[in-house]
Amino acid sequence: MNVRTRRSFCGGAAGFAACASLAEPLTALARPHRHLAHAKKGASAAADVAAPVGTPANTPLGPFDTVARWAYILDYNTGAVLLDKAAEERMAPSSLTKMMTAYIVFGMLATGRLKLEQQLPVSEKAWRTQGSKMFVPLGQSIAVSDLIQGMVIQSGNDACIVLAEGVAGSEERFVAMMNEEAPKIGLENSHFMNVTGLPAEGHYMSAKDVATVAAHLIRDFPQYYHFFGETEFLFNKIRQGNRNVLVDKGLADGLKTGHTDAGGFGLCASSNRNGNRIIVVINGTSSSNERAHEGERLMAWAFANFENATLFRKGQVVDHAAVWMGTHKTVPLIAGTDITMTMPTGWQQRSHIAVDYPSPVMAPIAEGQECGAIVISSPGMADMRLPLQAGQSVGKLGIFGRALTRIGYGPA
């Protein structure tokens, strides 16, 4: 990467970070001027798959067709949205609902209020529940671990009811727990009427909310996430496979599928490749085969077209800003956290990286105070701004020092 400033950086994300740590910091101009990293524009990578007959979704690379009525792709590590098609619309989530049911159950396990080996009784309501089943026997008790497998692998509606009644006493009270927890984890377009996803008026989620639940399941309960990746489940001498074809094919390590007439065929899948984790949500496809093909295609597209680049490490000095009326002439500007961004593949040839801050910075300055930003620009993507912090405190000069500074003899 060549930088049209007083110095240049090596090519590539790792090289950029390495050079920035070894060479003198970037030299910045006062806002709104920026020092930009420029290079020749290049074409983005494309997944080697045929486009479906569908309608376009929004992506940072431009429109991209998908047959799914609702679709959303999220980079788990950075939170970058890679694809969005009606992702905030309310939709019938079908059995994707069970991800939220699992979230509540996992929370009970994590706090010790429920045990994996604990036995829960099967009520007549659970036994009679229609739709997909793990075939719980009426009047018997089932281990929580078996019920979780029946819920997430076989998508058993009966397993969900047993869990809900065992945790909260009734499905209705468990649903109240789901609706109470939903806004706490960032769900904005979700409301639950049951724990199964069976059709019910007022029961809805958005594709974005499904991805949000998936991210929380992975992040908050890694000790239980493995349930979503198990390929089969044997219970009561009945062997049942995971309905998520991407999991069965080894292309994803979780999560769920769903289907109702109102929602069509839906899928939420996540995969971790070379340290990058992607979450794909689709709903409203016309068949289980179309769901599987489109989920696989979108997963491949996301990994082929985007990569994560660590630009600066936490505490790394990015620049030194001039200080006015301070006990030091400059203050180091540092990255407050690791700055890792999701960028289109080949971003080094198309991106502009700048530092942006008022110059000089007025004293006094507290260590950790936000003093500016790193600005990253790429064609087709909105500018990304990440804060820079003061790496040390700088006191304000006294009256005599300020007077000398005003006439040109002070230290600042």
Task: Indicate whether 274 and 211 sit together in one domain.
Answer: yes
User: For residues 165 and 141, is the Cβ–Cβ distance under 8 A?
Assistant: no
Is 62 within a domain?
Answer: no
Query: 93 versus 380: which is more confidently predicted?
Result: 93
Instruction: Report the percentage of the chain scoring pLDDT > 70.
Output: 81
The predicted pLDDT at position 228 comes to 94
- Residue 98 annotated in active site: yes
Confidence of residue 406 (pLDDT cuts 50, 70, 90): low
The predicted pLDDT at position 16 comes to 41
pLDDT digits (tens, 9 = 90+) for 2-40: 222 222 233 333 334 333 332 333 333 233 233 323 333
What total of structural domains would you count in the chain? 2
User: Which of 44, 94, 132, 155 is an active site residue?
Assistant: 155
Whether the pLDDT of residue 303 is over 90: the answer is: yes
Task: Indicate whether 145 and 243 sit together in one domain.
Answer: yes
- Residue 94 annotated in active site: no
Is the alpha carbon torsion for 339, 345, 346, 350 positive or negative?
negative
Task: Indicate whether 159 and 123 sit together in one domain.
Answer: yes
User: Which of 44, 85, 94, 98 is an active site residue?
Assistant: 98
Whether the pLDDT of residue 127 is over 60: the answer is: yes
User: Which of 44, 85, 94, 95 is an active site residue?
Assistant: 95
On whether 256 is known to bind a ligand per the annotation, the reply is yes
The predicted pLDDT at position 339 comes to 75
- Domain of 97, CATH number, reads 3.40.710.10
Task: Indicate whether 259 and 382 sit together in one domain.
Answer: no
pLDDT digits (tens, 9 = 90+) for 348-358: 666 777 888 88
Is 361 within a domain?
Answer: yes
Task: Indicate whether 178 and 281 sit together in one domain.
Answer: yes
User: For residues 385 and 408, is the Cβ–Cβ distance under 8 A?
Assistant: no
pLDDT digits (tens, 9 = 90+) for 249-296: 999 999 999 999 999 999 999 999 988 999 999 999 999 999 999 999
| Residue 400: domain span | 2-42+310-406
Task: Indicate whether 391 and 322 sit together in one domain.
Answer: yes
User: What average pLDDT is seen over the chain?
Assistant: 81
The predicted pLDDT at position 349 comes to 66
- Residue 155 annotated in active site: yes
Query: 320 versus 345: which is more confidently predicted?
Result: 320
pTM (predicted TM-score): 0.76
Task: Indicate whether 94 and 227 sit together in one domain.
Answer: yes
Tell me how crowded residue 373 is: count the other CB atoms within 10 A of its CB: 19
